């Protein structure tokens, strides 16, 4: 299987869907002439022209509103945010227009739109440019929320998002754009709302999503050395959540650790833990535990960044706590 960069996997999904459906277009800051802030849309202006690859002013609320209006009229916009930290300015259109329009129109107006771009911590970008928004958007009925951890899933899930008739939030990782990973040739689509068991195991279930799954695998390598057999589940979609896959795993391993880059209060981990203890309490041999970002705005100093985010050491320690009831 060939190896391509994460940005190339995203670009392939965009390009293939734009070739397949002339109603799909991309709008955002620097997506055209500059080839995208992270070069995701490189070369797409030459192929599709300025009517389908559209540069905008620095006005997130404005171009998000244009895209929502286009979706109401039968087009399928893809809105690229330079970072989801900037998308805070567009939340009125995302939450009050895109998410609610189907219900408010009595089922007459679907909003087939994708809002995509980098999310979460990325180097020393400090507090206002290092936020993870999965839990915030997942709280909104009417939105679907995707956060892939790898190249293969990113391409397949983005294609599904573009074809979906509902608004989809698609989170990418800035630090992954240059990473290489395996993506097959040819057409494939991954259904939204289906988690995947990335690694089978019998001792403990570890659940995560997005780039933190790669930290989980690094921790699992260390735990394997101590004969702790971890099952790893990648949620992939955080709204809707595939509870069935997680619960079936917990029934086999009897222990659960949840890992995410978001803050702890009202987190995805909190919601999953609630449902698992409700539906699989009798199968648990230890309390459910989680590893999240510390409950502070992300610092700038690199040592404090490392101390704030989920780490190999923290995951290893918490897994041992549920294994040995420490």
Please check whether residue 207 is in contact with residue 257, taking contact to mean a CB–CB distance below 8 angstroms: yes
**Active-site entry in 129, 196, 222, 248:** 129
Specify whether 174 is catalytic: no
All residues at 6 or more sequence positions from 55 whose CB lies less than 8 Å from its CB, including other chains = 28, 29, 30, 31, 32, 33, 34
**Active-site entry in 8, 12, 29, 60:** 60
DSSP states along 117-144: EE-S--SS--GGG----HHHHHTSTT-E
Specify whether 248 is catalytic: no
Q: What are the respective helix, strand and coil percentages of the chain, to the nearest 5?
A: 40, 15, 40
Radius of gyration, alpha carbons of the chain: 20
In the chain, count H helices and then E strands.
12, 14
**Residue 57 CB-half CA count within 13 A:** 4
DSSP secondary-structure letter at 87?
G
> Which residues are identified as catalytic?
60, 129
């Amino acid at each position: 299987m060939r190896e391509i960069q994460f940005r190339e996997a995203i670009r392939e999904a965009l390009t293939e869907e734009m070739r397949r459906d002339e109603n799909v277009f991309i709008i955002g800051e620097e997506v055209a002439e500059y080839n995208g802030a992270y070069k995701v849309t490189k070369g797409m202006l030459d192929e599709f022209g300025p009517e389908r690859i559209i540069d905008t002013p620095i006005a997130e609320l404005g171009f998000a509103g244009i895209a929502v209006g286009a979706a109401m009229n039968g087009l399928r916009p893809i809105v690229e945010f330079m970072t989801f930290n900037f998308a805070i300015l567009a939340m009125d259109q995302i939450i009050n227009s895109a998410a609610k329009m189907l219900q408010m129109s009595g089922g007459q107006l679907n909003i087939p739109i994708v809002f995509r771009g980098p999310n979460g911590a990325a180097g020393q970008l400090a507090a206002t440019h290092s936020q993870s928004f999965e839990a915030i958007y997942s709280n909104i009925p009417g939105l679907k929320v995707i956060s892939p951890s790898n190249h293969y899933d990113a391409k397949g899930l983005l294609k599904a998002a573009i074809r979906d008739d509902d608004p989809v939030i698609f989170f990418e990782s800035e630090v992954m754009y240059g990473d290489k990973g395996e993506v097959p040739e040819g057409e494939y689509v991954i259904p939204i709302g289906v988690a995947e068991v990335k690694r089978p195991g019998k001792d403990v279930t570890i659940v995560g999503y997005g780039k933190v799954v790669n930290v989980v695998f690094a921790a699992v390598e260390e735990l394997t050395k101590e004969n702790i057999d971890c099952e790893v589940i990648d949620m992939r979609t955080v709204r809707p959540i595939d509870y069935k896959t997680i619960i079936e795993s917990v029934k086999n391993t009897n222990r659960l650790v949840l890992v995410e880059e978001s803050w702890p209060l009202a987190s995805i981990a909190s919601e999953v833990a609630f449902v698992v203890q409700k539906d699989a309490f009798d199968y648990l041999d230890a309390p459910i535990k989680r590893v999240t970002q510390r409950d502070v705005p992300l610092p700038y100093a690199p040592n404090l960044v490392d101390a704030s985010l989920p780490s190999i050491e923290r995951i290893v320690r918490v897994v041992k706590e549920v294994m040995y009831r420490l």
